[in-house]
Structures are given as structure tokens and as C-alpha cells.
Amino acid sequence: MESSIPNQTPIKKYRTPDGYTSDIAVFTIVNDEKPTLKLMLIKRTELNAEGEPNVEGGKWALPGGFVQPHETAYEAALRELKEETGVDGFHVKHFGVFDKPGRDPRGWIISNAHYAIVPNDYLEARQAADDAQEVELFSVDQVCQLSLAFDHREIIEEAMEWIKRDMVQTTLARSFLPPEFTISELQSVILAVVQDPQVESKPAFFAKAQKLPFIEVVLEKDGQAKTTQRNSSRPAKLYRFNDYELVKSIYR
């Protein structure tokens, strides 16, 4: 006999998923010859903890795993990221749900997709653990050449669209930058993620950026603008993000 809740539809009337997971796309910017957007992936072990062939073993994948009964999908994302890569301590944002039947050979598995944008120094402590045999950073072009597990290519492509949108519509760039930065560094970070003609033009961007309400010049104790020569022989002003709340309106 089907169990039921009083005054509600019998519990077993509808099909339930075979599993509930969280996956995380972790992006950073690495300063090689120029700032380059990279994605952190794990390589799934060939064998699982029981010594049996692992599902999609040997393929590169996003860090992630099954949500436990006592936690939310967001909490699972943080836990799995720590367990599989040794990395934690930064903000993770949910951006989508992937539930197409057949996306996972183990059954109908629903995945919550998250992404994180973090400075590269956060990822220096990364190390493979749990069911990950390797953990590496790949450029977007390199990711396109990899054999990826499950539907992770689709998840990554959607994550990229969210990042590009957020980079030009929010203050997302602050996640890549040090607390104090130059306008040139801000420009480089944005261009590492999205090619925008208004940002690519150095004169236009520098003129616009200095008027943005959410960044301000860093001042010395004497009230003079603080400068740096870390990227140039000529002193450049340092800026920082302030607490201005950015609200975008379609009517402006």
C-alpha cells in the first residue's frame, strides 16, 4: 500500500530522481604572457573506493558529487570541492540545474551547477583527493580539446556565458584583483574573460573607469593618490572597490 501524507497526493505516485548532485566550475586568471582565463578540472579515477571501475573513469570533469541527506546542494558543492581538490574558503554561486534524462549512465541524476571566480593564489594549494586522481588548470581553448565526463561540457559552456555577462554587468572583476589595483589591471582582467570593444579601447576605458561609482582612488595619509610601478616604469594610481551598491535598471 502506498504511503501518503494526510490531505496530499500519495508519495509514490510520481517518479523520483536516482540521485542529486552538485558540480562546480572554478575559474581563475593566470598571468602567463598575458592574463588568461583558466578552469580547474579533476581527472576521475579509473577505480572507485570499492576497487570497481569508476563511472566515466579517466575523463576530466568538474569537481562535484552527491548531495547528502543532511545538507543542501550549495553545502554539498563546498564540501565536494574541498574533498576532491583541497581548495576551500571562497564564494560559490549557483547558476543552473541540469536534469535531462540520460545525462548520467547511473540513472536520472539531477545536478545543481555552481561557479566560483577566485584569484589564482587560492588555487596554489590544490591537490587531488577522494575520487580525483589529478587536478589541473586548463585554458578555455584547452578545455575544448578534452574528453569530458557526463554533460560537463554543456555545464561549462553555460558557466562561461554567466561569467561573461557578470563581468560586464557587475563588479565580478574584484574577485580576480588584489585589494588595490590599477586601471590597466582592471582592464586586463575584464578582457581575459570577454572581448568588449568599449573595454579594448585604452583611452575610452581609462576615461570611463575613473568615473565609475564603485571604485575609488586609494589615498596616502597626506591625502595624495597612492601609486605603484609594479607593471610600468611610470607611476600609476591605485584604486579599490568601495561599498557602492550597483543596481542595473532597464529604464536608464
CB 217 within 8 A of CB 207: no
The residues, any chain, with a CB within 8 Å of residue 160's CB and separated by 6 or more, are 140
| φ, ψ of residue 73 in degrees (nearest 5) | -65, -35
Question: What spatial distance separates the first Cα and last Cα of the chain, rounded to whole Å?
Answer: 60
pLDDT of residue 83: 77
What does DSSP say about strands 132-139 and 35-44: parallel, antiparallel, or unpaired?
A: antiparallel
Count the helices and strands in the chain (H runs, E runs).
6, 11
Question: C-alpha cell of 3?
Answer: 504511503
Q: What is the DSSP letter of 215?
A: E
Residues forming beta bridges with residue 227, ordered by sequence position: 237
CB 51 within 8 A of CB 42: no
Residues forming beta bridges with residue 115, ordered by sequence position: 25, 93
pLDDT of residue 70: 94
- Rounded CA separation 209/114 (Å): 29
Question: C-alpha cell of 25?
Answer: 566550475
Distances (CA, A) of 108 to 13, 94, 100: 17, 20, 8
pTM: 0.83
Instruction: Identify the CA nearest to 143 among candidates 23, 21, 25.
Output: 25
pLDDT tens sequence for the chain (252 residues): 455 555 666 666 777 889 999 999 989 898 877 889 999 998 988 877 777 888 888 999 998 889 999 999 999 998 887 777 777 767 788 999 999 989 999 999 999 999 988 777 767 666 655 566 788 999 999 999 999 999 999 999 999 999 999 998 889 999 888 899 999 999 999 999 998 888 999 999 999 998 999 999 999 999 999 999 987 778 999 999 999 988 877 775
Place of cell 575609488: 216
pLDDT of residue 154: 96
Distance of CA 143 to the CA centre of its chain: 15
Distances (CA, A) of 137 to 26, 58, 99, 142: 9, 16, 27, 9
pLDDT of residue 81: 77
Catalytically active residues are: 134
- Rounded CA separation 131/23 (Å): 14
Question: With b meaning 16 or more CB within 10 Å and e meaning fewer, what string describes 48-62?
Answer: eeeeeebebbebbbb
Beta-carbon-side half-sphere exposure of residue 80 (alpha carbons within 13 Å): 29
Instruction: Identify the CA nearest to 92 among candidates 115, 75, 112.
Output: 115
pLDDT of residue 74: 93
